[in-house]
Amino acid sequence: METATLTEQDREEFRLLLLSWFRLHARDLPWRQTRDPYRIWVSEVMLQQTRVATVIARYTQFIQRFPSLVSLALAREDEVLTLWSGLGYYRRARMLHSAAQLLVNEHGGSLPHTSQELRRLPGVGDYTAAAIASIARNEAVAAMDGNVERVLMRLLGKSATRRSGLPARLKEVAGLLLDPKVPGTFNQAMMELGATVCLPRAPRCTDCPVEKFCGTKGEHVAAPRKQIVSRLTHYALVKRPVGGESKRTEVLLVQRQDNAAQMPGMWELPAIAEPAKGEPVLRIRHAITNTNFYVEVFEVKADKFLTARNQRKLERHDWVVDSRLGEIPLTGLARKILMRLDVMAKPREVRSGKALPGLDRDFL
Ligand code: SF4
């Protein structure tokens, strides 16, 4: 695509091809059923660095519990983190929560109207602001996530992407192509094209609606493969029956430090340096960005585990009854282990075999 010679007619044709394709091929995603800026904001924050399939179930539960900005602002942080469990990158949840509180305390409880104003909120970058403003408010502003950038680079071709000032160039081209009549739908169509057709390693050019405008047709920019690191880790599952008539069980959990670099304040099973005696009760693989954790879980009796030495090491720990596990902010891995071992109830989506990928996959 040579933008210097791109006429208004070309741009109209590009929009028509893309939007017609999107009408036929758009995935049916829950956040596409709404133009409520709050709900679009939640979905955009969840989708940052988390796969769509994982977000679907989490989004629905989150919106059921916090249907409005005010309900989110009034919630306790640990409840927000609990509902975020499984999505990872918990800093996003904290930022979302504090931005909601700021909006309720200082801006009358509604989201600003323009992308420029949205940009001033904690945790809201150019992309998120543009996505919310274009989809919810019809503002003619291009939203550029990683998928859209890749599509634009391929459309422009090799020589254009080698020139200096690439980010500004991409922004300019995104603005030129944007359909000002339906900016929100156009932005979603570009993202969908990048997510489902113009794939990083193997673009499906024969299915691409805008192939005739493409300067590369997938010939270049194969994303370099990330180096994957593997780590073996061990956890202890320590349980005890709850006294009295109850048939319930309590599980020993530890809380990560407030200043921990990752997932501060979240609860998890106690890690153990060495495998315990006997066979593990569970072996799973848990992938976080470029690390594959190969996890072994050993069941250890409470009296053997809670020696005086171990108790000193376990700074913040607590017994949590199984019926309450869904109410506390667990790390994604702890949640996966406890569900897999039937200590924690599985959500309906998993029981019925629907959605929530990431929970029932990756097992060794
Ligand atoms: S033709 Fe291929 S490389 Fe070009 S935009 Fe379409 S899918 Fe991407």
CB 109 within 8 A of CB 103: yes
Q: Residue 338: which CATH number?
A: 3.90.79.10
* Domain presence at residue 185: yes
CB of 208 closer than 6 angstroms to any ligand 1 atom: yes
Question: Three-state SS string across 265-329, please?
Answer: CCEECCEECCCCCCCCCEEEEEEECCEEEEEEEEECCHHHHCCHHHHHHCCCEEEEEHHHHHHCC
Q: Please classify residue 181 by burial: count the beta carbons closer than 10 Å to its beta carbon, then call 0-12 exposed, 13-18 middle and 19+ buried.
A: exposed
Q: What confidence tens digit (pLDDT) does each residue in 52-90 have?
A: 998 998 999 999 999 999 999 999 999 999 999 888 888
Residues 195 and 312 in one domain: no
Average of per-residue pLDDT across 143-170? 84
Query: 49 pLDDT band (50/70/90 cuts)?
Result: confident
Q: Quote the CA–CA distance of 338 and 323 in Å, as a whole number.
A: 12
Asked whether residue 301 falls in the same domain as residue 331, the answer is yes
Ligand 1 contact via 147 beta carbon (within 6 Å): no
Same domain, 133 and 201: yes
Does residue 214 line the site of ligand 1, with CB under 6 A? yes
The model carries a pTM of 0.74
pLDDT in tens, 179-196: 999 999 999 999 999 999
User: How many distinct structural domains can be found in the chain?
Assistant: 2
170 and 42 together in one domain: yes
Which residues are annotated as catalytic?
44
Are both 275 and 163 inside the same structural domain?
no
Q: Judge whether residue 152 has pLDDT over 70.
A: yes
From ligand 1's centre to the CA of 265, what distance in Å?
44
Q: What is the CATH number of the domain that holds 25?
A: 1.10.340.30
Distance 151 CA to ligand 1 centre (A): 7
Kindly tell me if the per-residue pLDDT of 299 is higher than 90: yes
Give the model's confidence band at 206: pLDDT under 50 very low, under 70 low, under 90 confident, else very high. Answer: very high
Q: Which domain holds residue 267?
A: 229-351
User: Could you tell me how far CA 83 lies from the centroid of its own chain?
Assistant: 12
